[in-house]
Amino acid sequence: MRKIIVGSRRSKLALTQSQQFIDQLKEKHPDLEIEIKEIVTKGDQIVNVQLSKVGGKGLFVKEIEQALYDKTIDFAIHSLKDVPSILPEGLTLGCIPAREDARDAYIAKNHIPLNNLAPGSIIGTSSLRRGAQLLVQYPHLEIKWIRGNIDTRLQKLRDEDYDAIILAAAGLNRMGWDKSIVTEYLEPELMLPAIGQGALGIECRSDDEEVLELLQSVHCEATQVCTEAERTFLKLMDGSCQVPIAGHATIVQDNIEFTGLIMSTDGIEKYKVTQTGTDPVEVGTLVAQAMEQNGAKTIIEKLNQDA
């Protein structure tokens, strides 16, 4: 097989998870010649503005997708939650490997439990989804915007006026952080994860049969089915970075069980729907249709209009 060039963002987490995926591939194909090409995206360059104000998570993939079109890379390793629900023509997700922990991790000074935080305590997150879910359950807390990689956010927790921060458990695990750093893992009943959280999406050209065959050797069907339900919901809801939207699917007794959530940014309006079935597109569609019927779509239309 030809030498494979892999595109990855330059962040420490992106490079680490890219290397971990390459190691998975090499376990199946020991003779594979492969190297990482680092690509700086617009999202990496804009670190002092909230993502929802400048175009959202799609900012982390556009330059990498251009490299695929230019054939300077053969496939790209993304965090799936950063990948828009509609891919550009000629590109596809050639593989979705087994998912890491999809939960959010709550990390507090002095390990004070979330339920014990005093009124006015400040929680750092740059996610509208996390902020809205916290506010609806803990209206006495204050949400403060925070950006930066894991190390930067942990440093800000130590040095600045944050009482706690919330990070994706998957990122902490992939970077090798000891689980003792986490005060609590937030179960989906309390904090529904982002669409695709904890999963990787391996993007390649749709007509590159050699790469597609290679990637299928480390594909996880269960993860693909669950994330397809989630991404179908996201696509049908037209959920942009302006909208607190969440969704998480699991396999329960051979069925897909998917819960979708849409909220107003202040947490006052909340719509949550669960459906089960065997077809991921159908399950995601059923949740989206229920959301339209109960009025949740009006939140999205208003927030997208105000953007």
Active site residues: 82
CA 74 to centroid of chain Cα atoms: 23
SS (H, E, C) the chain: CCCEEEEEECCHHHHHHHHHHHHHHHHHCCCCCEEEEEECCHHHHCCCCCHHHHCHHHHHCHHHHHHHHHCCCCEEEEEHHHCCCCCCCCEEEEECCCCCCCCEEEEEHHHCCHHHCCCCCEEECCCHHHHHHHHHHCCCCEEECCCCCHHHHHHHHHHCCCCEEEEEHHHHHHCCCCHHHCCEEECCCCCCCCCCCCCEEEEEECCCHHHHHHHHCCCCHHHHHHHHHHHHHHHHHCCCCCCCEEEEEEEECCEEEEEEEEECCCCCCEEEEEEEECCHHHHHHHHHHHHHHHCCHHHHHHHHHHC
The sheet carrying 122-124 orders its strands as 142-144, 122-124, 164-168, 104-108, 184-186
CA distance 93 to 107: 33
